[in-house]
Structure 1
Amino acid sequence: MFNFSPKREQGPAGARGYRAYAVGDIHGRVDLLEHLLAKIHADLQRRPARKTLLVFVGDLIDRGPSSAQVIERLRCYHRDGVKPVFLLGNHEEVMLRALAGDSTVVESWLQFGGLQCLQSYGVTLAKLRGRSAEEVIEIVRAVVPREHVEFLETFADSCRFGDYLFVHAGIRPGIEVDQQSQSDLRWIREPFLFDERDHGFLVVHGHTITDEVEERPNRIGIDTGAYRSGLLTALAIEGTERWLIDTRAGVRARD
């Protein structure tokens, strides 16, 4: 877990001296990623920040057409003054499990986006047809560069940023952050989405698609379904101010 010490101001505030941009689920849309990065960089030029975190809340891969290209782009990402932070989504978890030899996840992975991921590495549907799970695993190991695997293996499960907690899916309400299971952090929906209690921090998460950013008193959902909607969103936080940047025209103020 990354931890940037909380500094309570009036209302929820980010870590003092930092700005953060939290990017929602990309799901293989490198075109939208490039568009959003350009807008974030332009935002930094308009109003510079001394220290910036660029947090990707997971699910870089699957469903969209360019998973391999997204991984390579972010693996090599560098910008002076910007620290990228990568959180592991459930889709990365399943891919890593397949690469580790877990044949039980192969069929479900191919059905919920793994097929498109493998196609981005040059694997054709014909090459997969009729293959056993074990044979698919060997294909995956052959086409995914070791550098990509090692990059995914560095991803964290959460990032504390002042009065905010960035995670992929959510948290189990009533459980301390350091006691949360990886399964909940990467997969949970209920009861998290409908729980109204104060968690002690504002949770920023992806995983559950909404047409627009969903803001509740105790959580902000930023997965706007990029792979199917064409809308990739970032939530910017600095002090007590929040604003949105997305792949539509303009920058939208929040608070």
Structure 2
Amino acid sequence: MPPIYAIGDIHGQKEMLDHALALITADGGDDAQIVFLGDYVDRGPDSRGVIETLMAGQSAGKPWTCLLGNHDRFLARFFREGRQHDPRVKSGLNWLNPRLGGVQTLASYGVHGEMHFAEQEFGETEELLHSEIAAGRITPDALIAAAQAAVHENHIAFIESLPLWHETEQLLFVHAGLRPHISLPHQDPDDLIWIREGFLETGHNFGQLVVHGHTALDHPQHFGNRVDLDGGAGYGRPLVPAVFEGRHCWTLTETGRVPLLP
């Protein structure tokens, strides 16, 4: 079987994505099979550019599989419904809060603004009061309308088409993880893009090696039954691609492969 490559959470870091793709090309050629683990948008400066890169690669016939991440769904839901919250965000933060990164994503599409929120107690949903843009103060509804006019419909359709997992005989790729003892078709879709508790601490043998992102670390790590490839690019740390041959894993660097061991 040829090697399969994977890239964790990109979070709008287009330059880091380009560098990761160059490392993969150097190791596996132009037609390397790549699985992207979701969270293409938010926090970084060029979410639009990341989406365009992924769409262009697939349109060119590259064997790229792009999975859905929770931040990608945030963007799609804001565009379709104006939804600013998800109940899985325990802090209640608004997607437009810079900590979650929606404001940076909209800026990459040309909708620049400073968000003003109502005072919030921890756990309460954070409510947007208004936005300050170059033309002045606008209401939340006006901001939603501006986003719907600026974000490309085909970018949203791309996000809405993304699968929740990809599997080979020995590997299972998913954005966040999954619950032990539940078959893949019966997993809660929300868990597949949000789960931490119940997954990160388990030593359960899932049969396949689970390759995921979502939980940011300082560097990708191998935990025996799973590999977490979210090295924190959304917080400015490097985006480190990996390559798998069977269950064996290496990260890719400028000087070649580095074994990633449990």
**Shift of the alpha carbon at 1:104?**
4.6
Whether 1:227 aligns to 2:215 is no
Unaligned runs of 5+ in 1: 1-16
Q: Do 2:84 and 2:95's aligned partners in 1 also have CA atoms closer than 8 Å?
A: no
**Aligned-partner SS, 1:63:** coil
Q: What are the residue-to-residue correspondences of 1:144-183 with 2, within 5 Å?
A: 144-183=151-190
**Shift of the alpha carbon at 1:194?**
0.2
Instruction: Measure, in 2, the Cα distance between the counterparts of 1:79 and 1:199.
Output: 33
Q: Which amino acid counterpart does residue 252 of structure 1 have in structure 2?
A: V
Deviation by residue 1:36-90 (Cα, 9 ceiling, x = unmatched):
1011001114xx9xx7421100001000001011111111015988410010000
Partner of 1:30: 14
| Among 28, 41, 54, the residue aligned to 2:34 | 54
**Aligned-partner SS, 1:55:** strand
Instruction: Measure, in 2, the Cα distance between the counterparts of 1:215 and 1:134.
Output: 44
Q: Do 2:8 and 2:37's aligned partners in 1 also have CA atoms closer than 8 Å?
A: yes
Are the structure 2 counterparts of residues 217 and 115 from structure 1 closer, same or farther at C-alpha, using a change threshold of 3 Å? same
**Shift of the alpha carbon at 1:239?**
3.1
Whether 1:142 aligns to 2:145 is no
Aligned CA-pair RMSD: 2.3
Instruction: Measure, in 2, the Cα distance between the counterparts of 1:131 and 1:103.
Output: 17
Partner of 2:113: 125
Q: Do 2:72 and 2:159's aligned partners in 1 also have CA atoms closer than 8 Å?
A: yes
Is the deviation greater in 174-183 or in 106-115?
106-115
Whether 1:202 aligns to 2:209 is yes
| Among 46, 56, 69, the residue aligned to 1:66 | 46
Are the structure 2 counterparts of residues 66 and 102 from structure 1 closer, same or farther at C-alpha, using a change threshold of 3 Å? same
Unaligned runs of 5+ in 2: 87-92, 116-130
Instruction: Measure, in 1, the Cα distance between the counterparts of 2:16 and 2:56.
Output: 17
Q: Do 1:61 and 1:92's aligned partners in 2 also have CA atoms closer than 8 Å?
A: yes
Whether 1:216 aligns to 2:223 is yes
Is the deviation greater in 66-75 or in 97-106?
97-106
**Aligned-partner SS, 1:54:** strand
**Which one has more relative contact order, counting CA pairs under 8 Å at least 6 apart?**
1
Q: How many residues align?
A: 234
Are the structure 2 counterparts of residues 82 and 57 from structure 1 closer, same or farther at C-alpha, using a change threshold of 3 Å? same
Q: Do 1:103 and 1:133's aligned partners in 2 also have CA atoms closer than 8 Å?
A: no
Partner of 2:26: 42
Partner of 2:104: 116
The TM-score, its normalising length taken from structure 1, stands at 0.84
Are the structure 2 counterparts of residues 132 and 80 from structure 1 closer, same or farther at C-alpha, using a change threshold of 3 Å? closer
Deviation by residue 1:172-194 (Cα, 9 ceiling, x = unmatched):
12211110111000001001000
Q: What are the residue-to-residue correspondences of 1:78-93 with 2, within 5 Å?
A: 82-93=62-73
| Among 70, 79, 88, the residue aligned to 1:99 | 79
Identity %: 37
**Shift of the alpha carbon at 1:250?**
4.0
